[in-house]
Amino acid sequence: MTNPFFEAWTTPFGAPPFDAMQAEHFKPAYLAALDSHRAEIAAIATATGAPSFDNTIAALERSGQQLRRVDMVFSQLASAHTSDDLQAIERELAPLVARHWNDIYLDPALFARVDALYQQRDSLGLDAEALRVLERYHLDFVRAGAKLTADERTRFGAIVERLAVLGTQFGQNVLADEATTVFALTEAEVEGLPEFARAAAAETARERKLNAPYAVTSSRSSVEPVLHFARDRATREKVWRAFVSRGGNGNANDNHQVIAETVALRAELAGLLGYPSYADYKLADSMAKTPAAAQALLEEVWTHGRQRALEDRDGLQQLIAGEGSTFPLEAWDWRYYAEKLRLARYDFDENELKPYFELDKVVEAAFYTAERLFGLSFSLRDDVPVYHPDVRVWEVSSGGKPIGLFYGDFFARASKRSGAWMTSFRDQSRLMGDVLPLIVNTCNFNKPAEGEPALLSLDEARTVFHEFGHGLHGLLSNVTYPRIAGTSVVRDFVELPSQLYEHWLEQPPVLARLTHYKTGAPIPEALLARMKAARKANTGFQTVEFVSSALLDMAYHARGPGEGDVGAVEAETLARIGMPREIALRHASPHFGHIFSGDGYAAGYYSYLWSEVLDADGFKAFDEAGDPFDPATAERLYTYVYSAGGSRDFAEAYRLFRGRDPQIDGLLEQRGFVTAPVEAGGA
């Protein structure tokens, strides 16, 4: 059997030949790639000559190309279009891959070479980028246990392997709950849903082959329209309960034991490295530096957000009373009555915007923004293989020269996990020639019926811009070394390019391109005025559901080894912060994939808020210039944020772009919380 991973890829740009890939190709490809990388690492570690930057650090950067190729493709398929076969491979290979990287970072001979270079780094004559790469490699090794004793290294490696297994299990459990939970709905149960939501629910019923006119699953994209618009309160409740209990239903997919073991192992791992908690370990390599700094920001915003939410709660309860009902507001009621309150206060119905937010036009508007800011152009390619028929690919060029490919995978399906994310099939670098990036954006919008346009909500349109901001961070990367390319930055900086990009969606030149999908008419000025007036509506709810989740993340990971009952953390945290009964966590523990399906955002979910300090303050630079596309400001943004990857200290990068440290008042103003300007404390 021919395996495409053992052949050169002759596709455009050397893109993955998905049309030639089968599930059975991945295991042999992984095993061969691991063997190849192992041999490359052994050659570096046992080299007889004195260590040099080229024969050690650059050699590490050049190694593992085969492994990166298979891993990047498999990781996206396992998230965006998985199957029973792929999930079985994922479970089998997760500990093997974790062990492989353990063996590298815990190799005493290899670390001795890296450490020797680090100790003499000031005398090596390295340029700034190479010095940064050396420093990051040394830190990577130290944080991965390279300085531990032999016995400690053995235990550290076992923990990392087990955490890889647990993270895989957690994510697969949530996906299984979402895939198997489906509600068949009657005409009466979908009363109140706008046409777009009814069409999506009808499409779900057809896909699931149900003998019912409509259906919804427990995934966010399916649930949200019901919670916002379904008039039948019992329908809202049953859908909401399924939504918030994903991964915690006491069945074979239950994640509670996975969480308990994960939290305990992370605390032990941090203790081995000399940190009092996993949060201390994770934040040591971040802009925040300490859990106390992250906690202070969260609590500052929590105070404002909770107060606003309580005020809105009273307004929602009054609406219920005004309808002649006496039931107390519940969490499954909030979104429904918040829509009514927004309409009453601002005469703004977000559904009025949907005809102007056709997916293709929103994507084109995101491209237009990149053209104005960075001089990019985009052309659709139908000759690049894709892993699902819904995926589209664009060639991205600058100055008439290709700089990469952009894949857009926008629609929800049973084989895709919830959420939205950016990833890559290949990262930019110049070390081994001019390697162009292959960047992917994945979303979960409801797919329309055949022949109908996909119409987005304002929040979904923001998601397109958000993820494309991440995409640009990968596409515009302009560095030599893979280790610091694109989004290879600390967690509380990585959301800056994405959240900042959201601001351009509501700029007049961009909105002017979002015309009615039927008539071609622009968005009426009166509707835009009402949209802007309502911008801060329901920010209390949004703040509470997010910040409570971030505080829960910190509570799990600020614990020392063996401290307290992990099972009680969520309840204790919500009681301590005074969580309003009528609002649920954005991510309850059993489906909090950001922090438990891997360690990427573990003790780091706060980073969205930290980055919001940066993005709210950063966009003011364009306001101050009087032009959302001011060339000088855009050039600084490109140079110090989008193209620089991890090539310099991140606080320094922000200062070079903005001219000063960030201030928190922009975030508070953005959310409608009035306060005097306050320094962000190094955010």
User: Hey, which residues are catalytic here?
Assistant: 467
Looking up tokens 């989004």 gives 487
Question: What distance in Å separates the CA atoms of residue 497 and residue 472, rounded to the nearest whole number?
Answer: 8
- The answer to whether residues 143 and 156 touch, using CB atoms and an 8 Å cutoff, is no
> 571: Cβ–Cβ under 8 A, 6 or more apart, which residues?
none
Nearest to 588 by CA among 162, 108, 177, 95: 177
The CA distance from 284 to 437, in Å, is 30
Burial class, 592, CB count within 10 angstroms (exposed 0-12 / middle 13-18 / buried 19+): buried
CB-CB contact of 280 with 301 (8 Å)? no
Q: CA 466 to CA 444: how far, in whole Å?
A: 14
Is residue 176 within 8 A of residue 597, CB to CB? The reply is: no
Pairing mode, if any, of strands 401-411 and 376-381?
unpaired
- The rounded distance, in Å, linking the Cα atoms of 30 and 90 is 11
Report residue 184 as tokens. 């068949």
Nearest to 161 by CA among 234, 223, 95: 95
Residue/partner pairs of 286-290 with CB below 8 Å, 24 or more apart: 286/490, 286/491, 286/492, 286/604, 286/607, 287/490, 287/492, 287/493, 287/610, 287/650, 287/651, 287/682, 287/683, 288/492, 288/606, 288/610, 288/682, 288/683, 289/682
DSSP-assigned beta bridge partners for residue 398: 376, 401
3-state SS string for 567-600: HHHHHHHHHHHCCCCCCCCCCCHHHCHHHHCCCC
The single-letter DSSP state of residue 324 is: T
CA within 13 Å, CB half, 317: 12
**324 dihedral zone (left: phi>0; alpha: psi -120 to 50; beta):** left
Q: Which of 454, 447, 265 is nearest to 357 (CA)?
A: 454
DSSP state of 523: P
